[in-house]
Structure 1
Amino acid sequence: MDNFQMNLEKYAELVIKVGVNLHKGQDLMIESPIESLELTRLIVKKAYEAGANFVQVHWQDDVITRSRFEHAHDEALDYYPEWYTNMLERFVENGGALLNIKVPDPDLYAGIDASMISRASKAMAKARAKYQQYVRTSKFSWCLIKAPTVAWASKVYADLPEEQRIDAMWEAIFRINRVYEDDPVAAWRVHMDQLKRVRSVLNGKQYEALQYRAAGTDLRVELPEGHIWLGGDTENASGIRFVANMPTEEVFTMPKRTGVNGTVSSTKPLNVNGALVDRFSFKFEDGKVVDYQAEVGYEHLARLLDMDEGARYLGEVALVPFDSPISNLDRIFYNTGIDENASCHLALGSCYPINLQDGVSFSSEELKARGGNASLIHVDFMIGTADLEIDGVLGDGTIEPIFRRGNWAIAF
């Protein structure tokens, strides 16, 4: 077995044992691009070896996905099949786990009218609202992972000869997922313990607000009473711990819906439903985006903010040091699942109820009353830089440094 095959086996085992943490007797659903056939076959093998009852693979293809916008009749864009959402809901309710190899082409919808993409996205979000609530409350184990595709690798490694791009992408994926360690599963457990220490310190602080300063950013974000910092692995409703995103370097919590004021500028491109938005900024007043700019993809950003009333409010605040494994690769991946773990970030849209004490048991009205936001969307955007400064404001008004020069200023 050559080194690549050995590492691919280790990666497949890692996502089963750590990512979804599959237990004997569970069903597993895998959503995979057709270009990831070899990896998907290995994951299925590892799943059955771990005791899976049944593994279902849903194949995806960007050409087919784009074809809908090029050839379907206009009314079809406002449709999303109820039978599919029913299947997803039953799958979760029966204790299944989901693994998604999420690697869309960053330029998938180039030339497609933004309104078409927005309509289809809104129809899907409405239809899948109950399922997304299961996701955001960690009712079940789910994990997003990455694997190279030609389109994605060509975007990220455009500076390399075409024949080297896939190999370069695999090298990056193995590296940022600790696959090169002798025992990646053990290495991830050490990593989870470190993130647990970070979130423990932050939870002990119970800051009333965070204050951000950097070029183009001067922002104050209030945090609700009883907020909870999470990061690394999460416990589902059955008590099984899983990792929702591999790789992961963040700790995150819930901002107060009406407590965000100031301006913030993006530091990395954002892939919004297959369309790139770049060099954008927001102005917040009492939590709401009241003004925004974008040098690239302005119309797509506008459509995103108009998705519903909650789309203009924040649902997540996340901290990632600039000196971290992904950031140190010094490369933009045009994939939020990776780029957000190289940079401090915020998220427009729905909060995660698990970020608030007893939040999972609250109705949407109760959650909103306690500072949470509800929306059809949850879209992370990156704001981290090498000069970012963040202060924490304690209940007595004391101000403490949290980040200086883009990195942690407190000990863990």
Structure 2
Amino acid sequence: MLQAEGGPARVRRDEFMPTLTGTESVTSPVASTGATRQELPYRLRQQSLLGEFGRTALQTRDIGQILQRATQLCAQGLETPFAKVLEYMPEEKRLLVSAGVGWAPETIGQISLGVDLESPAGYAFHTGQIVISNHLQEETRFRTPKLLSEHGIKRAINVLIARGGEGHLPFGVLEVDSADSGQFDLADADFLAGFAGLLGIAIERQHADAELQKALEHQAMLTREMSHRVKNSLASVVGLLRVQSRSAQSEEVQNALKDAASRITTIAQVHDHLWRSTRIGFVDIADFAGELCRKLQETLAYKIDCKFDHLMIPADKAIPLGLLINELVTNAAKHAYSDKSGEIQVAGAGRGADLHVVVADQGVGLPADFDMDQPRASLGFKVIKSLLAQLNGRIAVSSNEPKGTTIQLDVPLD
């Protein structure tokens, strides 16, 4: 970064806490006048430009664009080609030209000015007062920065850009310059102060947005880390259940432990998708159901055809829904076919505000006296009814022609 004058001024840290003092100003002794222009149209135009900038500042989030637009409109309002925003750089203790119009191309983002009290911008920065200097070449209060001399600047207004909240350093200074010998007056300074006030609000809003985004990213990281750890912990439980299953003497106990391991694996898969999801707390049902069916196919040794629409569903619905699919597919594998040659179809699609899920097979079909509401219904169907109750879902079971069974679920997503 280039410096427009000598090295950084030696300034005490406690001098960096100015307060904006309303219409206080430091002006040159030369009287101001509007004799060379039509005063009313001139002031009305300034008010119009200020209103335009207010809308821009509210609608735009890019602070660079806001700063640049402010300099353009300030230059128009004061009928001069030169304006700039000087942003305070705490490490260098300099004022960097971060936006501007009228200056040489290498100025923006490269040239910096001193922040000491002997420069107009530095004085405005430290004191919070508006500084008007209409004859820089004759100025005895301040030195004229090299940047202004190189561009033939004869007069300038400097206004502090403050930030809201206690303990914040000011953002910097808004400055308008002119190479002609006209006059800036207090009304011009008030116009510039209006822009500086809006800039301060926009800058503070950007700072708040950045802090909020940082907090959200941290929360997302914590959520993903928690889901990842839960998934790993559940995987350890699954491993223990499988070990116990292999050592159990009873086939009934072995099957119960295998079923429990399968259910826990389903929950672990939801948490695996949670920490990898682009939307915290939600799972893409197409990806999740597809992976679940692939793992069930490996475990059950049946061909499982799985087709789901891409829908983001909350985790509190994904877990019972995954368990439902697991139970329905497992039941079909146990009861539909006498060998391993059959196929199970699983599909899901949005239907209004619901997720419509179908699990179908071409197996032996349902017993003639099947009634899932009877007390003697299998444990699997009791689990299914319990999960449906959690989801406020509906189920329909029917036999296919000429053979097979179709189970349809409708689960509200809102």
Q: Same fold (TM over 0.5)?
A: no
**TM-score range relative to shorter protein:** under 0.3
Relative to the length of structure 1, the TM-score reads 0.20
More helix by share: 2
Relative to the length of structure 2, the TM-score reads 0.20
The structure whose Rg is larger is 2
